Structure 1
């Protein structure tokens, strides 16, 4: 069974590692190519876009993909929509692998927003020294003249490109991050407001703890929903279980490309 994993996340890499030892499975991980030096998973790897829905559906058919797993970043909404439409076109079962989102705790000063643009609108009322941890994409939302009085520390894996905030330092780093390191950034850089996307997971969560301890407000961009009707696995292990069930159905003659949407952690 050829399994195509739309990757780029830690969960996608762990899923590929788990499936690589199963002789019934051939795994190909697709990476968008936005990171200069990605950590490559085992199995086959392709880099670059597919050319939209039709291109992805054509690739799935041409390479005889039997299962498609969308393990992209929780904010890769366009890719997730394309995956849902392409899977329907190619009549291939699709699973979304999504780590659970973060949950506010006692002491958190969170401000939930729907977009980076909304986050930018809130900032002047919350602070002057901003720790921006939303990645290098979308910095244009913080480049408006109305934010020129603010100073930004932008953390990303690769260097950002213009347009960028007028007053900005760049911190090139890749998670996972340690709590003490996050505390030091807030202290040393005199940060008074944090901006993040609700990516979920433990790798970048220590910044939330550090902000809670320091009493710093956090602007949290809500993640987009998974396309309607797509089953969801919360962990790589749950995704492996889904694959195994599909393999068992195929072996018993029960798989016809229209498998049930039920699964561990499944939701609509």
Structure 2
């Protein structure tokens, strides 16, 4: 009898799912076109995504064409960042921008799953790491309703079975809008803005941390987070993000990219 009820429930769920798909079919998160699957891109948007590999600096991720794996750029040799590594799923182009802007400012928290599915390949070898999202100040969470980086980190944690520490980092003060600021000015703006949660620092001792963010620009925010985590005892902090802005090639058609990705 129980098996019959369970089977009937599964059939009913499939019928209901099919009916919903007819009324509300899955749509491309990049352009809104109808697609066969949830969180799937249409062909044109998929082809326009610029997926990034491992051919960048081993510390900051800046592109180093033809360099062998593990190469460190001259900038990181002269002034090593707090981050031990940086990886992004895609380059910050029109489709990547649209998806993340809808997540952050368009009331589309479901886009966190879309992003998380494509970021999953970045953590295939990270079975023992702690996932820590870049925190937002409470005023921005109240306005937005959620921290987009925490939503993405939650998707990754569930899919890979990793430990998620949403409250491991605290944003102690609001930082000014970073739009238009250069690298050094951004670093000054976020200095001292982050600290490890004193109730959770014991969990950090000697651990590897994967810092999760939506967009990586100059690295000022992520490096400030990494310094706070290492002061609290983390052995290594690496950043993974949805998109990376190539500051040398930002297209004005994207708008002020440095403003788009302000936290």
- Shorter-chain TM-score bucket reads 0.3 to 0.5
Please identify which structure carries the higher helix content. 2
Please identify which structure carries the higher strand content. 1
State the TM-score, normalized to the length of structure 2: 0.32
